Amino acid sequence: MKKRDIQIALPVTGEEEWNAVKEPLLSGWITQGPKVAEFEKKFADRHSVKHAFAVTSCTTGLHMCLAALDIGPGDEVMVPAFTWVATSNVVLYCGAKPVFVDVCRKTYNIDPESIKKNLSSKTKAIIPVHLFGLCADMDQIKKVIPSDIKIIEDAACAAGASYNNEPAGSLGDMGVFSFHPRKSITTGEGGMVTTNDDGLAQKLSQLRNHGATISEEQRHIGPKPYMLPDFNLLGFNYRMTDLQGAVGLAQLPKLDKFIEERSKWARYYKDALKDIDWLILPEEPKNGTHGWQSFVTFVDPSKSPLPRNEIMELLQKNGVSTRPGTHAVHMLNYYIDTYGFSADDFPNARDLDKQSMAIPLHNRMTQPDYDYVIDNLRNL
């Protein structure tokens, strides 16, 4: 077998994105402006929501959502124990307490049964994560939480994904997407906050821009040059640039094609790898679309020929990049030091941290690339 070099992820960017940034560069309007506005409108339409606000990242978007709900010291926000560290860091940015909830072994997503046990009178919000593009079980989550607890979807990996045929980003009070290059569409760095709630929308639009009551664009094109905004909220500068907005506009029309291709190759993997008894393959939604941000397997330690890390090293030697799915956040040093967690507090998150393995799946891979990954796994 001739050696190949297959990366874990690689964005599809090229001439179209290159051309897209020319217009803002030539016009001189490079901060948030008409390109961002158009990107927001089209992103909102694609995800069936009334409002979308482009921001600098999913992390800042999540922070902004908590700020829009006035979450602060004394409040608790539930987050899954197995996720990217940003999901819980944003709770700490507000001075509130992240309350970790274990995840399901099969879906990697927050476990509704464990949510029930962790509810308290201080719980103000919950951030279910649609990990790796599979939507969390939103119906069950809504069933177990009181109706005054706000739901913020961490849809970082879930652009274009759906649950019961409703798009991610429209399933809670607010949703937040990421356009980091490891997600399915990218603007370099960037994020998008979605909501159907007009009151929250007003707050989000202000919080993104220092709390200003009118946007720079309104001020620029409006008829009243003497007008300065009022600032009645403590806001941030989380604005996306129009350069990124232009790239987003070039990427968004490709989203559905990207997901379709990823789904096709995910099925190809599932078919070709199903009889490897030590490798547990990811679940698919019963009634919706998986975004397939990544294809994350579980290396069963009781059956695998080698420990996971040795498998990953061997694959890397052969040119196949893999990664652990993501972190058990309670096992990260900052969280251990702050809260004194032990690994066993959230056993499923602990095991997934140690045994999960993402294998390459992205829109620049070809059939021989997939076959090469499959052969390497089968030959272990």
Ligand X SMILES: *Cc1c(COP(=O)(O)O)cnc(C)c1O
The catalytic residues are 183
- The least distance separating ligand X from the CB of residue 191, rounded to whole angstroms, comes to 5
Q: Provide, rounded to whole angstroms, the least separation between the CB of residue 147 and ligand X.
A: 25
| Alpha carbons 263 and 245: distance in angstroms, whole number | 27
Task: Find the farthest-apart pair of alpha carbons in the chain and give their distance in angstroms, rounded.
Answer: 72
Among 64, 77, 86, 315, binds ligand X (CB under 6 A): 86
Sign of CA dihedral 261, 264, 267, 268: negative
| Backbone torsions φ then ψ of 77, nearest 5 degrees | -130, 125
Size of the site for ligand X (CB under 6 A): 14
The token pair that represents 295 in the structure block: 């294809």
Phi, psi of 82 (to 5 degrees): -110, 100
b/e map 99-119, b = 16+ CB within 10 Å: bbbbbbeebbbbbbebbeeeb
Which residues have a Cβ under 8 Å from the Cβ of 377 and sit 6 or more positions away?
273, 276, 279, 315, 359
Closer to ligand X at the Cβ: 24 or 61? 61
Minimum separation from the CB atom of position 207 to ligand X (A): 16
Name the residue nearer to ligand X (CB basis): 87 or 209: 87
CB of 164 within 8 A of CB of 136? Answer: no
CB nearer ligand X, residue 49 or residue 110: 110
Alpha carbon distance 297, 287 (integer Å): 21
CA 36 to chain centre: 20
Determine, following the binding rule CB under 6 A, whether residue 372 of this chain makes contact with ligand X: no
Residues 210 and 235 sit within 8 Å (Cβ to Cβ): yes
Contact flags string 38-77 toward ligand X, x per CB under 6 A:
-------------------xxx------------------
Among residues 13, 32, 83, 356, the one that binds ligand X under rule CB under 6 A: 83
CB of 251 to ligand X, least distance (A): 14
Choose between 86 and 115: whose C-beta lies nearer to ligand X: 86
Map the footprint of ligand X across residues 126-185, applying CB under 6 A: 129, 154, 156-157, 178, 180
- Smallest gap from residue 250 Cβ to ligand X (A): 18
Which residues does 166 contact at the CB level (< 8 Å), separation at least 6? 48, 288
- Window 199 to 258, contacts with ligand X (CB under 6 A): none
- Least distance CB 127 / ligand X (angstroms): 9
Candidate segments 79-87, 233-241, 306-314, 366-374, binder of ligand X by CB under 6 A: 79-87
Residue number with CB closer to ligand X (21 or 127): 127
Quick one: which of 84, 295, 335, 372 contacts ligand X (CB under 6 A)?
84
Measured from the CB atom, the residue of 124 and 182 that comes closer to ligand X is 182
Contact between residue 369 and residue 350 where contact means Cβ atoms under 8 Å apart: no
Helix (H, G, I), strand (E, B) or coil at 237: strand
Output Rg (C-alpha) for the chain, integer angstroms.
21
Give the whole-angstrom CA distance, residue 368 versus residue 290.
24
Minimum Å gap between C-beta 58 and ligand X is: 3
Q: What gap in Å lies between CA 107 and CA 131, rounded to an integer? A: 8
Nearer to ligand X, 191 or 248 (CB): 191
Contacts to ligand X by CB under 6 A = 57-59, 83-84, 86-87, 129, 154, 156-157, 178, 180, 191
